[in-house]
């Protein structure tokens, strides 16, 4: 393993900004794995740290197939992590909405450009991503529908779901989308959490990546058998929203099978404890997302359901 600085610039009043990468093997640029691009993506950094630990063992044991190189970048935004702020501290911009970047632009555009210049030529690109809402998610692989997506490759991770997402205008500036446009087979992996460390789903994410690398004959690894992934389009997710604001008491968890009419949660009056809304499933489904907050505001997406049964 070698440690490299992928991109850096001088800091005026604090330490220099550095994006570090950890390289394994030599030869073809086979796989790049990137963790956090936002300051609150602690789970994503944690998963990459576990993956680096496993790859060190694989390389030391001679199980990394010759002619392949793997790059792992745990964090692309250390400044925001250090101050516990999701987006860039000065102008609140999102690095993952700045790709492919612009090296003469604003700071986050330059960071995106600096990172992308170093990772755009990899055959496979894997990003440990996070959702825009706080909550828990069923482990899944997501791909943008650019015309370059490869569903059968996504199944190689062995995660429960492969989710195909039709890009909206702002999605065209994400890493996943631009990786695909530059002819990298790109995948976004969602484990169960973002700001909280979930060791079980983190390990599942690591095993999924190692399983993928093994099936693509990049490493020799035997362990995670995985699931026969179910393919679903993101537009077919059902959103169950709050009609009232109040305390939220969830009764189900991600991955649960629920039946039409089943009570999923209660929303109660914060002052009187009166039940304001009994939240029910609109049809038989699998819980793909559970909102994680004691308070729900009106029209908040409390659950996202995948129609059908597991």
Q: Give the model confidence (pLDDT) of 145-204 as tens digits.
A: 998 899 999 999 999 999 999 999 989 999 999 999 999 999 999 999 999 999 999 999
CA angle 135, 140, 145 (to 5 degrees): 110
Q: How confident is the model at residue 222 (pLDDT cuts 50, 70, 90)?
A: confident
The mean of the pLDDT values for the chain is 94
Q: CATH 3.40.630.10 spans which residues of the chain?
A: 2-233
What's the whole-number mean pLDDT along residues 53-79?
97
Give the C-alpha separation, 1 to 117, whole Å: 21
Please tell me the predicted confidence (pLDDT) of residue 81.
Answer: 94
Which is the CATH superfamily of the domain at 2-233? Zn peptidases (3.40.630.10)
Share of the chain above pLDDT 70, in %: 99
Residues 97-131: pLDDT tens digits?
999 999 999 999 999 999 999 999 999 999 999 98
Q: pTM for the full model?
A: 0.93
Q: Which CATH architecture has domain 237-307?
A: Beta Barrel (2.40)
Q: CATH 2.40.50.100 spans which residues of the chain?
A: 237-307
């Amino acid at each position: 393993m070698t440690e490299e600085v992928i991109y850096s610039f001088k800091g005026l009043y604090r330490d220099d900004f550095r994006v570090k990468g950890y390289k394994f093997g030599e030869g073809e640029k086979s796989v790049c794995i990137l963790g956090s691009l936002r300051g609150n993506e602690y789970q994503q950094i944690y998963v990459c740290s576990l993956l680096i630990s496993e790859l060190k063992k694989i390389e030391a044991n001679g199980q990394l197939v010759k002619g392949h190189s793997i790059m792992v970048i745990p964090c692309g935004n250390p400044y925001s992590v250090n101050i516990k702020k999701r987006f860039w501290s000065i102008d609140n911009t999102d690095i993952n909405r700045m790709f492919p970047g612009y090296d003469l632009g604003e700071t986050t555009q330059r960071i995106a450009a600096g990172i992308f210049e170093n990772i755009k030529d990899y055959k496979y690109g894997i990003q440990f991503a996070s959702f825009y809402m706080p909550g828990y998610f069923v482990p899944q692989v997501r791909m943008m529908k650019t015309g370059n997506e490869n569903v059968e490759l996504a199944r190689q991770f062995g995660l429960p779901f492969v989710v195909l997402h039709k890009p909206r205008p702002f999605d065209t500036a994400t890493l996943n989308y631009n990786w695909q446009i530059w002819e990298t087979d790109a995948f976004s992996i969602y484990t169960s959490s973002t700001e909280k460390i979930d060791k079980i789903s983190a390990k599942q994410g690591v095993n999924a990546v190692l399983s993928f690398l093994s099936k693509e004959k990049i490493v020799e690894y035997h362990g995670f058998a995985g699931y026969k992934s179910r393919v679903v389009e993101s537009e077919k997710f059902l959103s169950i929203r709050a009609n009232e604001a109040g305390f939220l008491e969830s009764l189900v968890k991600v991955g649960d099978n629920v039946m039409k009419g089943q009570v999923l949660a209660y929303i109660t009056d914060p002052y009187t404890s009166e039940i304001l809304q009994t939240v029910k499933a609109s049809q038989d489904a699998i819980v793909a997302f559970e909102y994680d907050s004691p308070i729900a505001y009106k029209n908040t997406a409390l659950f996202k359901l995948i129609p059908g049964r597991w």
